[in-house]
Amino acid sequence: MKKKKIVILGAGITGLSAAYFLGRRNVSVSAFEKESQPGGLCRSIKTNGFVFDYSGHLLHFRHQWTKRFVNSLLKNNLKKHKRRSFIYFKGQFVPYPFQTNFAEINDKKIVDDCRRGLIKAASSNKKSASFYSWARNCFGRGICENFLYPYNEKLWQIPLKDLAPLAVEKFIVMPDKKDLTISGRMNQGYNSEFYYPKKGGIESLAQSLAKNITSLYLNHEVKKIDIQAKEVRFANGVKVKYDVLITTIPLPELKNIVLGLNKSVESDLSALRWLSIYLMNIGLNKKGIPKIHWIYYPQKTIPYFRVGFYHNFSSSLGPNSKGSLYAETSVLNGSKIKKRDLNRKMKSALKATKVITSLDEMSCLKDCFIDYAYPIDDKNCKKRVLRINRFLSEKDIFSCGRFGGWDYSSIEDCIVVAKEIAECVSRKV
C-alpha cells in the first residue's frame, strides 16, 4: 500500500515538534518554512554581541514528560529560575501577582478597598458573561479597578466585556480564599518558576528540534493551498502534493491562501481578532540592573505594557555580561503604528520610570514588529474556530499551534498539541 504524503507548513515550535514526533513514529514528513531559519517566534536576534528574542519566551512545565523532552533536546543548556516580577503602580514597584500583594501598596485606602472587594468576592457565586464580570466576581472592585481592568484593557486593546470570561484564566493567580489577609506571596501562579537556555537564547530549543528533521525546507512561503487537488503552491514556484496537511499558518491568513473555502468559513476567518506587538530590544553599555525578570505597566500614559530583562534570564545574552531588556506595546490586528513617535515615547518612558537612568546607557537597539503575537479569545471566538477546524479536518487538514489552533498557548502547550496531532496523523498513514 502506498504511503501517504504528510506535509507541514510552518517550522515554529509546533511544526518542528509535529515533524519530530512523526519521525519518531517512522512517518515520513516534509516541513516548509517561509523564513530563512526555523523557530517562528522562538527565534533569537544576534547583533553587536547581544542576543535578543522575539519578546520574552520562557519555558513553563506542567507535565513531567515535556520537561524531560526539552531536557533531552537541550541537555545541560537549561537553567531554572524563580520568578521575580513586579507591577509599576503609582511610582512604586509592587510584587506580582497584584491580587496577593496589594497590601504592599503605600496607599492605605487602596489596600482597604482591594481587601474589602476580595472578601466580598470570595462569597460570590455569580455567573460570568465576560472577562470583565468574571474578574469582578473573583477579585472585587478594588483589585479590578486598580490593576486587572486597566492592565488588560491596555494589553488586549478591546473592551473587556467583549473578552471571553475565561480567556486568560490559566494565567491569572487566584488568591487563597482561606486566608485573604496574607500578603507577600510572589511565587504563585503558572510561571512562578520557569526555565531558560543558559546560552544561545530561546532559539536554541528550535535549533535542537530542527536538527532532528531530515526534510526541512526554508525560504518557502505559501502562496496557495488547493484543497481539491491537495496541493501547496509556494511563492518560489515549487508545488507539493499532500495526503495530510498540518498547518501552523495563522488562521486569518488562510482566507487569502486556501482555494475552495465556503462563505461561512471565510466569514469566520475574517471575524478573528489578534494582537500584534511592537518590540523594542535594547542592549545596555553597563552590567544589568537588579535581578528582576519583568515588570507590568497598567498605566495608559506609559506606552508599553511590559518590560523584561534578558540578562536576568541568562548573563550570556550580552557581551561581557552587559544588561539587555525588551519593551512591548500591543496593537490590534496588525494596525499600522507611527514607529518613530512610538520609539521616542518608549525611550522617554523607560527613563521616566527609572528602568534606565539615561538614554546614553543604550548601546544597541533592535526593534521589530510581530504581526501575530496573541490570539484574542472574544465571546464568539470558540464557535468560529470550531467551525473553521471542522471544515479543514474534513479536507484532511490539521490546523494547530498558537495561531493555527487560535489558542493562547505556551511553548509547552505547543509541544503537547504537536504530539497529539502526530499520534492522530500516524493512525491515518
pLDDT tens-digit readout, 48-89: 999 999 988 999 999 999 999 999 999 989 999 999 999 999
DSSP 8-class letter at 276 = E
179 has pLDDT over 80 = no
Q: What is the pLDDT of residue 188?
A: 62
Percent of the chain surpassing pLDDT 70: 96
In this predicted structure, the answer to whether residue 1 has a pLDDT above a threshold of 50 is no
More confident residue, 288 or 349: 349
- The C-alpha atoms of residue 127 and residue 185 are separated, in whole angstroms, by 28
pLDDT of the residue at 171? 77
- pLDDT at residue 180, as a whole number: 54
As a whole number of angstroms, the distance between CA 331 and CA 209 comes to 31
Beta strand ranges found along 108-230 (DSSP E): 193-196, 216-217, 222-226
- Write the DSSP symbol of residue 12: B
CB atoms within 10 A of CB 78: 17
What mean pLDDT is reported for the chain?
93
Average pLDDT over residues 275-291: 92
pTM, entire model: 0.93
> In CATH, what is the architecture of 6-40+203-272+380-428?
3-Layer(bba) Sandwich (3.50)
Digit-coded pLDDT (tens) for 221-255: 999 999 999 999 999 999 999 999 999 999 999 99
Q: What is the pLDDT of residue 110?
A: 97
Percentage of residues of the chain with pLDDT beyond 90: 86
Query: For every residue of 314-343, which 3-state class applies, written as one string?
Result: CHHHCHHHEEEEEEEEEEECCCCCCHHHHH
pLDDT of residue 123: 73
What is the average pLDDT across 385-408? Answer: 96
- What pLDDT is attached to residue 66? 97
Mean pLDDT value of segment 374-379: 94
Q: Which of 59-73, 92-106, 165-179, 253-267 has the lowest mean pLDDT?
A: 165-179
Residue 316: which pLDDT band, with cuts at 50, 70 and 90?
Answer: very high
Give, for 64, the enclosing helix (H) or strand (E).
helix 64-74
For the cut 70, the answer to whether the pLDDT of residue 288 exceeds it is yes
Has residue 183 got a pLDDT over 60?
no
Residue with cell 498539541: 417
Q: 3-state class of 397 per DSSP? A: strand
CATH hierarchy code of domain 274-375? 3.90.660.10
Q: How far apart are CA 422 and CA 7, in angstroms?
A: 12
Grid cell of 266 as nine digits: 471565510
Q: Which of 132, 126, 134, 128 is nearest to 152 (CA)?
A: 132
Average pLDDT score over residue span 292-318: 97
Q: What pLDDT does 189 receive?
A: 61
Mean pLDDT, residues 336-353 taken together: 95
274 pLDDT higher than 60: yes
Query: pLDDT class for 2, splitting at 50, 70, 90?
Result: low
Residue 181 has pLDDT above 80, yes or no: no
Q: What is the structure's pLDDT at 261?
A: 96
pLDDT confidence of 173, banded at 50, 70, 90? confident
For the stretch 202-223, pLDDT in tens is 999 999 999 999 999 999 999 9
pLDDT higher than threshold 80 for residue 20: yes
H or E element: which one contains 156?
Answer: helix 149-156
Q: Where are the domains of the chain?
A: 6-40+203-272+380-428, 96-178, 274-375
Helix (H) or strand (E) holding 414: helix 411-428
Q: Quick one: pLDDT at residue 168?
A: 77
Q: What is the mean pLDDT of residues 4-22?
A: 97
Per-residue confidence band for 150, with pLDDT thresholds at 50, 70 and 90:
very high
